[in-house]
Amino acid sequence: MLEVKKQEKEKHLIELEVTVATEKVSEELNAVYAELNRKINVPGFRKGRAPRSILRSRVGKEAVLDYLAQKLVPWALQEALKKEPVEFIGEPEVEIVEIEEDQPAVFRFTLIERPQVTLPDPENIEVKKYKIEIREQDIERELQRLRESRGKWVEKDEPVQAGDLVTFKVGEQSYSVLAGENEGLAQEVLGTKKGEQKTVTLEKEDGDTIEVDLEITGILQKKIPEIDDTFLKEIGEFESVEALKAKIRESLEKLAQDLIEERMKREIIVELVKNSELFLPEPLIQFETRQQIEAFRKRLERDNLTLEKYLELTNSDFASFEESMRKVAQWELRKMFVIQQYIEQNEIKAEEEEIQEKINDLARTAGKEPQEVRNILERNDRIKNIENNIKFEKMFEHLKQRIKIREIEEPINLDQWKALADPEEEMVV
């Protein structure tokens, strides 16, 4: 009932030309007309008894053939893949070559074959493991952040200084701005007093300028609390500043270890991908590039910015932006296929007990019953995410036992850590 011709148009781009026998076409055509008969009332005929010619004239020949194709295409692809197996990714491109009533139908499917990956020997991979020292100034900086987080806004009569929260009116509309934080209005209000009226010149998005008359209606200054007994109790019942500082050091050292571990994971991924062999077909790169551009556009929209405005602000053109997104797409695809291959090749699995343990953790955090959380995750198709995260973590543990880890003896501080280049960003420049 089905003939298949397979052809590799280019590397990893497979074309299947499928011919469906008349017998199968007629079988599905009968089902199409039976369904039309159930749905359409034709005057002069009992429901379900209208001849094909009448139904065809009512809905049109093209509609009948479209409906027939909708029924045949999924079946044709499924049966073709049984004869000529192809492990493909994404949605196949479908071309209806030929379709008529009670005649053989011909469909052409273009599939992107999953790229074959050759992984490197993990023993040949080397990554760095850093050491981070926590300095006294890091503790003081965190202590200052804690103080600022508990600061309170109070009214002031003095002129506006940087860091003050200024409220003002333009006509009948009220607004607020943090003085000195950015260019434009945040700078214009510096030095003004409550009740003062001022005309300011601002630049619009299109580059033109506009004059705005505003009146300062309030000035708030953030009062930072002193480190006293009250402050220590609010923070967490600490008996002394030294006890609080000891807790801060403990937290920062835990953060440092997490940063080191995360950095090592990223370096492992980079080295694993960089030393793997695989070929990405051009249609797949183009598709992923479009996906990356659309995702970037949506992120801009959340910040009330268009892609066109972004390109203008960064003095870029779309061609160069698209090329940068193409590099990101290639990296993300390579990374995805290499990770999948490593997990499959090493038979890394997420056990049900491990999945349930993660669900239990989420339930405790959310204050809900585990079964309720599982139901929510299943409804939103998120169980797979938990499973993948478990596999991902187990993959790193598997790799860490096999790669070379070079420990950097000379420690660096948190400021130096922030200045380190992201290993993945280096792969897309």
DSSP structure string for 217-230:
EEEEEEEPPPSSHH
Question: What mean pLDDT is predicted for residues 342-369?
Answer: 95
How far is residue 55 from each of residues 3, 36, 105, measured CA to CA in Å?
31, 7, 21
How many angstroms separate the CA atoms of 114 and 88, rounded?
A: 5
Q: pLDDT above 90 covers what percent of the chain?
A: 73
Select from 3.40.50.2300, 3.30.70.1050, 3.20.20.370, 3.10.400.10 the CATH code of 2-113. 3.30.70.1050
Coil, helix or strand at residue 321: helix
Q: Tokens for 173, please give them.
A: 């509309």
Coil, helix or strand at residue 50: coil
Q: Which amino acid appears at position 298 of this protein?
A: K
341: Cα within 13 Å, side-chain hemisphere: 19
pLDDT score of 44 more than 90: no
Question: Could you state, in order of their start, the residue ranges of all structural domains in the chain?
Answer: 2-113, 122-132+240-427, 152-223
Fold of 152-223: Chitinase A; domain 3 (3.10.50)
Check: CB of residue 95 under 8 Å from CB of residue 37: no
Encode pLDDT of 374-386 as tens digits: 999 999 989 999 9
Which pTM was predicted? 0.79
Treating both helix axes as pointing N-terminal to C-terminal, what angle do 352-366 and 383-400 enclose, rounded to 10 degrees? Answer: 120
Question: What mean pLDDT is predicted for residues 190-214?
Answer: 84
pLDDT score of 206 more than 70: no
Q: What is the CATH number of domain 122-132+240-427?
A: 1.10.3120.10
Give which of 326, 338, 343 is closest to 273, Cα–Cα. 338
Contacts of 27 (CB under 8 A, 6+ apart): none
